[in-house]
Structure 1
């Protein structure tokens, strides 16, 4: 895994970016997610479910 440099003086932030550098593994993770919809849950916030705030 390789850390990508995203720091900018224009808009510094605490978010980091990483690249797995393994397309096969990435595709397997995506396929697992798509193949196991029964394991997925509606996105919520600290205030509970509100599709106006979070729609994932």
Structure 2
């Protein structure tokens, strides 16, 4: 429950910050985050495949 409250507070802070940032900055930051999450997902998928084949 405490995790949910902290996540909502952080989300509110981030959304408030984005509302005051220029649109180009918000879009660029969103693209960077999306690429980072995509790379993370690919590394996780690749790591799990290699790990399961070794056993």
Please, what TM-score do these two structures have when normalized by structure 2?
Answer: 0.32
Structure with the higher strand share, 1 or 2 = 1
- Higher relative contact order, chain-length normalized (CA < 8 Å, sep 6+): 1
Please, what TM-score do these two structures have when normalized by structure 1?
Answer: 0.32
Structure with the higher helix share, 1 or 2 = 2
